[in-house]
Amino acid sequence: MIYFSMGYWVIALALIVSFAGAACGLACIRQSTKSVTQRFRLVWQFVAAVSIGGVGVAMPIFVSMLGFDVKGSPLRYDSVGITLFSVLSAVAVILAMLINGRQLVWWRLLVGAGVMAFGIGDVHQLLLNAIRVQGSVEQSLVSIVAVYVIAFVLSALTLWFSLWVGSVPMVLLGAAVYAVLVTGMHYAGLTGLQVHIDPSQPTPHGNVLFTFFVPFFIIGTLSLAIPITAILVAPDRREARSAAPAVRRPETVH
């Protein structure tokens, strides 16, 4: 197997993408603490989950897999598995955030971390199970356990950081830790993959990974562009509301 068929810049790009998604998501959580109404708070948390789970997890793993290749067989991916892979991570994050709440309660944090860890771990397993080769693909039990253990640590730290994101340095620190753990989790699982090529087997069905690159790129870009724009204009909107003079009802002249 070849992990960096396109060069080592792939892992650097994966780290950058994961950092950007996590930083944007944590910044959205920071904005949610300033929301006046519960409705807008939930909107910020939903956008944060898409950034942290979708862009922060699914995108860097997808980018890393662009450098993955095998010798002696074409490499294909199952479309259903890729679709579920791109959605499940965001769902797991929003559920974990709702369980965690707005104050540090350790049992809620651990339960939320467990939910998020199983979601992120399952996301990784979905992608690896979507691989199709001319033969068979197996994964060692040790690597599977390692993925879920790292995912739990990642989830617990993320939920903890989400409660203490009052400053920009905390956002950047949390995003950096997140990116390193996501990338480490992915390669811990990928290195346990065992591919057995059998030339007598039929050519695998499915799509090449680049088929999904354009929709992934567009959705990922929008997932970052929209919340970043909202974060930039949110302080101005709050200041405008606080500075707006009270509107007086016109007096009736008799």
Q: Give tens-digit pLDDT for 167-177.
A: 788 888 989 99
Structure tokens at 117: 């860890």
**∠18-174-50 over CA atoms, to 5°?**
45
Report the number of distinct structural domains present in the chain: 1
CB contact at 8 A, 108 and 99:
yes
Structure tokens at 73: 């067989």
Q: Give CA–CA dist 22/89, Å, rounded.
A: 13
Question: What are the start-end ranges of the H helices in the chain?
Answer: 9-32, 38-49, 59-65, 79-100, 106-129, 141-162, 168-190, 213-243
Q: Which range has highest mean pLDDT (68-82, 147-161, 198-212, 231-245)?
A: 147-161
Q: Give CA–CA dist 146/187, Å, rounded.
A: 10
Q: Which domain holds residue 130?
A: 9-228
3-class secondary-structure state, position 186:
helix
Those residues with Cβ within 8 angstroms of residue 249's Cβ, 6 or more apart along the chain or in another chain: none
Residue type, 224: L
Q: Give a yes or no: residue 141 inside a domain.
A: yes
Q: Give a yes or no: residue 249 inside a domain.
A: no
Q: What percent of the chain has pLDDT over 70?
A: 91
Q: Give a yes or no: residue 253 inside a domain.
A: no
Q: Give a yes or no: residue 218 inside a domain.
A: yes
Q: Give a yes or no: residue 193 inside a domain.
A: yes
pLDDT tens track for 109-124:
999 999 999 999 998 8
C-alpha distances out from residue 57 to 35, 79, 84, 136, 155, Å: 26, 18, 13, 26, 11
Q: Tokens 């059998």 correspond to what residue?
A: 198
| DSSP label of 163 | T
Q: Give a yes or no: residue 105 inside a domain.
A: yes
Query: What is the model's pLDDT at position 36?
Result: 64
Q: Tokens 């567009």 correspond to what residue?
A: 218
pTM (two decimals): 0.85
C-alpha distances out from residue 102 to 54, 165, 183, 215, Å: 22, 11, 28, 34
Beta strands 131-132 and 193-197 are: unpaired
Q: Give a yes or no: residue 93 inside a domain.
A: yes
Q: Residue 243: pLDDT above 60?
A: no
**Low-confidence winner among 51-65, 70-84, 90-104, 229-243 (lowest mean pLDDT):** 229-243
Structure tokens at 48: 């944060």
Q: How far is CA 169 from the centre of its chain?
A: 20
Query: What is the model's pLDDT at position 29?
Result: 84
The mean per-residue pLDDT over the stretch 96-107 comes to 88
Q: Give CA–CA dist 144/39, Å, rounded.
A: 38
Query: What is the model's pLDDT at position 234?
Result: 64
Q: Give a yes or no: residue 235 inside a domain.
A: no
Q: Residue 250: pLDDT above 60?
A: no
Taking alpha carbons only, the member of 119, 112, 125, 45 closest to residue 89 is 119
Q: Give CA–CA dist 32/169, Å, rounded.
A: 18
Confidence of residue 147 (pLDDT cuts 50, 70, 90): very high
